Amino acid sequence: MDYCSKPEEVDKNPNALNIMLFIANGNDDAFNFIWRCWNFCHVIDDLVDRDQPVLLDEVSRELFLFIETICCNPFFQQHKASLLPLILNACHGWVTGEEAAAQGKGYSSALKCSDFVIYSHVAFLIGGWAHMRAIDQIRKYDKE
């Protein structure tokens, strides 16, 4: 089972799967890329925050699936020149957001959810500006 398909993860983000399907707009490779990103980001965040238990097997599985995706996924391979810098930016934003949260900064959640730039860019690659703008709802429900 994917990490974000677990009942407690679905409870936190009940629309995540449907929004990822909407973003991918029928492109299975794009969906697999963003779904793997979503799962990996959430398992790592939970592991670091320790706000809920994460099993070693879950972390290992999501790590492998994410690496497999960036190595083998045709959508990622086609767009890696634009996607890899966004993954870097999301990683940096997450760290900066965690540091800001530790200091009580109100803007920390926006930084911690920097993976949104990956999903919005995939939406743009799939369907252009209008499709990218249509996914703003993702920001309204992500509860880390």
d(CA 70, CA 78): 11
Residue 21 is predicted with a pLDDT of 95
pLDDT at residue 58 greater than cutoff 70? yes
7 CA to centre of own chain = 18
Task: Please provide the size of the chain in residues.
Answer: 144
Average pLDDT over residues 110-118: 86
pLDDT at 18: 92
Q: Is the pLDDT of residue 80 over 80?
A: yes
Alpha-carbon distance of 130 to 76, in angstroms, equals 21
Which residues constitute the domain of residue 126?
3-140
Task: Give Cα separations from 92 to 54, 97, 113 (angstroms).
Answer: 22, 8, 11
pLDDT at site 51:
80
Query: Structure pTM?
Result: 0.90
In this prediction, residue 139 carries a pLDDT of 59
User: How many structural domains are present in the chain?
Assistant: 1
pLDDT at site 4: 93
